[in-house]
Amino acid sequence: MFASLSSQTSYFVSKMLENHLLPAYEGLSSRKTGIMFGAKAVAKIRDVQIHDPVTLTNTKEFLRQCFMKPYIIGNILGKKAAAQQTNDIIGFIEQNIPNNFGIYYREPSNLGISFKTCRQATPLIKAAIHKELNEGLLTNFAAAIGVQSDQSHMLSQRLKVMTGDTLKYLQREQQDIHEWMKQAMLLNANRESYDDWREKFSLSRIYPNLVSMHAIRGLFQQSFSYLVAGEMAAHMMPILQSVFFALVVSMIFIVFPMGLLPGGYNILKTWILLIIWVSSWPVFFTIIHCLGMISLSSKSGAFGSDYG
């Protein structure tokens, strides 16, 4: 009891000060955060990944061609050790642009592919990484580690302060969480690029956890597309069945018997041309398509109400 008296006193004093001097946001309370919570946040930074698939593809190609091959593997100008020990990969590449290296860059807007040298690709990759680093990323990161608040700006500032205190305690030169997140995204992209390279030679991945989230997201989209296709097929197949059945009945009981009569070849030819004409003429095609879309929209509405 006496041993915990100082802790209890500190707790109530901090609670009183927060109630009078700070906004009452429990998620931002120092009694629930502090340097140990900052340590938890710093440990979680290593899991930050690039979410945009185009940016991820470009970054992996950029790191492989402009960082791994020239410096880690090739040891150009004897800078392998400096490349391995750098705390700023983009900054290192900007200061040591490799000549005769480049990537096939995919444009985020139209997905067009063009070849760019490392000098041309560096500012594009840097801008894409900076775009990933926004207040929304900090907010989502804070929510993932258990901190929530209605005011995202205050939440971001609070998260920066907490992680800055922890990084200062760990005697790290870089104490900005933005820079740490940027390096984490680049390192994870580099690891994933290295694993992709290993898979080309039928080797196992060293960091399979990096692709697990992408695989889960892809499987979810694939499964949902199969679900939608199955539901649409279940509603459309009875309609198509009735249409095909009507065509078969007409062929068996009308067209073929009349085709056996004198001049029946012309009747059969007229039937085939009529089907092609109805299917290809814009007016009839529009009418048939409109009727099909009306039926499909009613079925889709029922499907959306069940699963929406």
**pLDDT for 207:** 72
Q: Are residues 266 and 167 in the same domain?
A: no
Count of domains in the chain? Answer: 2
Residue 214 has pLDDT above 80, yes or no: no
In the prediction, which pLDDT does 304 show? 43
Q: How many CA atoms lie within 13 A of 37 on its CB side?
A: 18
User: CA of 267: how far to CAs of 136, 254, 262, 270, 274, in Å?
Assistant: 69, 10, 10, 5, 10
Residues 194 and 241 in one domain: no
**Residue 161 is assigned to a structural domain of this protein:** yes
One domain, residues 125 and 188: yes
Question: pTM for the whole thing?
Answer: 0.51
Q: Write the burial class of residue 58 (CB in 10 Å: 0-12 exposed, 13-18 middle, 19+ buried).
A: buried
- Residues 200, 281 within the same domain: no
Last residue of a domain, one of 207, 227, 253: 207
**What whole-number distance in Å separates Cα of residue 267 and Cα of residue 159?**
81
Looking at the fold, whether 87 and 190 belong to one and the same domain comes out as yes
Per-residue model confidence (pLDDT) at position 139: 60
Assess whether 67 and 170 both reside in one domain: yes
What is the span of the domain harbouring residue 253? 237-307
Top pLDDT among 29 and 193 is at: 193
Q: Crossing angle, helix 152-169 and helix 177-200, to 10 degrees? A: 80
Q: Which pLDDT band holds residue 308 (cuts at 50, 70, 90)?
A: very low
Q: Are 134 and 154 in contact (CB under 8 A)?
A: no
Helix, strand, coil percentages, rounded to 5, for the chain: 75, 5, 20
| Same domain (yes/no): 295, 188 | no
In terms of domains, do 301 and 161 share one?
Answer: no
Same domain, 277 and 142: no
Amino acid in position 44: K
pLDDT at 267: 80
- More confident of the two residues 45 and 59: 59
Cβ 60 vs Cβ 44: under 8 Å: no
Domain assignment present for 227: no
Containing 34, the helix (H) or strand (E) segment is none
- Mean pLDDT, range 195-207, rounded to an integer: 78
Q: How far apart are CA 118 and CA 108, in angstroms?
A: 18
Record the tokens describing residue 293, joined without a space: 């879309």
Using 50, 70 and 90 to split pLDDT, how confident is the model at 119? Answer: very high
Same domain, 253 and 201: no
User: Is residue 99 within 8 Å of 66, Cβ to Cβ?
Assistant: no
The string of pLDDT tens digits covering residues 57-106 is: 898 899 889 998 899 888 888 888 888 888 888 889 999 998 889 999 99
Contact assessment for residue 221 and residue 230, using Cβ atoms and an 8 Å cutoff: no
Is pLDDT of 295 > 70? Answer: no
102 - beta bridge partners? Answer: 117
Instruction: Return the number of other C-beta atoms located less than 10 Å from residue 69's C-beta.
Output: 14
Q: Same domain for 256 and 203?
A: no
CA distances from 58 to 24, 52, 105, 182 (A): 44, 10, 6, 15
Q: What is the pLDDT of residue 305?
A: 42
Work out the mean pLDDT of the chain and round it to a whole number: 71
Instruction: Look at the block and give the residue holding tokens 């939608």.
Output: 228
Answer yes or no: do 133 and 182 share one domain.
yes
Asked, for residue 104, whether it belongs to a domain, the answer is yes
Span 231-241, mean pLDDT?
A: 67
What pLDDT, on the 0 to 100 scale, is given for residue 31? 44
